[in-house]
Structure formats: C-alpha cells, structure tokens
Amino acid sequence: MASRNDGIQLLLQAEKSASEKVNEAKRRKAKRLKEAKAEAQAEIEAERAERERHFKICEDKVLGRRSEIESQIQKLTQEIINTQTASVNLHKEDAINMLLNCEYKAELHYRCTKTAQEIANSEQCEINMDVICLVTELVFRFYQVLATDLETFSRHAKRSTITAEDVFCFVRRNPKLLQHLVDYHRNHFEDNKPESPDLVNETSKTKPKQKVSRKKSNMNVTDSSEYNKPEEAAQNV
C-alpha cells in the first residue's frame, strides 16, 4: 500500500514538473516572439528611414527644392491667367457682337418669313425659302452699313449723338425715300422738326454770296475813300 502511494506521488511530481517545464517553454517562446517582433520593427524603421533619406536625396537632385517648384507653379499659373484675361479682353467685344448679331439676325429672319407669308397669302403665290434667306442677309448687311455710316456722319459733324439729319444724309441719293422720311419725321415729331436738306443747301449757298457782297461793299468803301483823298492815292502811286 505504501509503495502504491509512493508511485502516485512520483507521478504527480512528474506531471507537475512537466507542466512547469511546458509553461516555462511557453513563456520563453512568448518572450522570444516579443523580442523578435521588436527587432523586426526596429529593422523596419531603420530601413524605412534609410529609404526616405535616399528618396529625399533623389528628390532634391531631380526636382529641386519644393519652394522653388511652388514658385514656378505659381508663376506659370499667373502667366496663364494673364494670357487668358488678355484674350478675354481682346475678344470680348467681338463675342458679344457675334451673339447680338445672331439674336438680331434670328429676329430679322422671323420677321422676313412672316412678311413673306403674308405677301404670299395676299398675292396667291409661293415664295421660296432661299429668297427669304437672301432678303434677310441683304437687310442685315444694309443695317450694318447704315449704322457705320450714321456713326461716321455724326463724328464728321463732331457730335456724339446720331440725329435725324444723319439719316437724311444717308438717303440723300434717293429723293423719294428722302421726302418720305422727312414727311414721316414731320408728322410724328412735330415738336422737333428738322430742316430739310434742300433748305440746308440753300442756306449754305447763300452764305458765300453774303461774304462776297460784304467784300464788294468794303471795296466800294475803299474806292470812295481813295477818291475822297487824291493826295494819298498819288503818294501810293
């Protein structure tokens, strides 16, 4: 019985010793894993620092300093902005005129088409669309010439405002149209009646005659004075 108890005690001691050895091995293994992990992390950090240092050297060699690059980018951006601004200022008026011309031409084409339809219905005929397009272009070009000539007439007269006289001057080669516009202006603007171009021409023609008559009168006066003073006339001779 005693030997049996001793055997059990030996087995328990052996089991306890084995478990202690296993636990010790586990602790050593965990410690070793932590140390290996720390060593690996240190090696990784060292390698990363070395790579970053090498990358920084290459970046400085190839691209230069970051401040210089930023200044170059800002300078290039400002040049592009200045170029675009100059281009906008240069073509702004042309673009606005083009848009306005498109709008005016569309409205004019609509009016010409409507008028052509009314004429076709009243005259029992057919007007081709090509004719309407040509008439629209003709009227549009005529308006452009009219605007340019009216501006030229006002500048020639040293005025900043275009008046009815400029319109009369534009149509001076068409007497019927001139008379029609003069009558229309008189009937609709009675408070501000313009002078007829014929009256203007008559007044312009009469002015030199007055100057000539004045010269003649002056000559007559000098002649009479010379006759009144024969001694001075003799001295002049």
Q: Does residue 126 belong to any structural domain of this protein?
A: no
Dihedral of the CA atoms 217, 222, 225, 231 (nearest 10)? -160
Dihedral of the CA atoms 225, 226, 228, 232 (nearest 10)? 120
pLDDT at residue number 77? 92
Q: Does residue 44 belong to any structural domain of this protein?
A: yes
Q: Does residue 54 belong to any structural domain of this protein?
A: yes
pLDDT at residue number 64? 63
183, 176 contact by CB (below 8 A): no
Q: Does residue 111 belong to any structural domain of this protein?
A: no
Q: Does residue 183 belong to any structural domain of this protein?
A: no
pLDDT at residue number 144? 82
Query: Can you say whether the dihedral through the CA atoms of 74, 75, 76, 80 is positive or negative?
Result: positive
One digit per residue, the tens of pLDDT, for the chain of length 237 reads 556 677 777 888 888 888 888 888 888 888 888 889 999 999 999 999 999 988 888 877 766 666 777 788 889 999 999 999 898 888 888 877 777 677 777 888 888 898 988 988 988 888 888 888 898 888 888 888 888 888 888 888 888 888 888 888 888 888 888 898 888 888 887 655 444 444 444 434 434 444 444 443 333 333 433 333 333 433 332
H-only helix segments in the chain: 2-62, 66-123, 129-156, 164-170, 175-188, 197-228, 230-236
Q: How many domains does the chain have?
A: 1
Q: Does residue 172 belong to any structural domain of this protein?
A: no
Q: Does residue 82 belong to any structural domain of this protein?
A: yes
pLDDT at residue number 65? 66
- Provide the domain limits for residue 67: 11-101
Q: Does residue 186 belong to any structural domain of this protein?
A: no
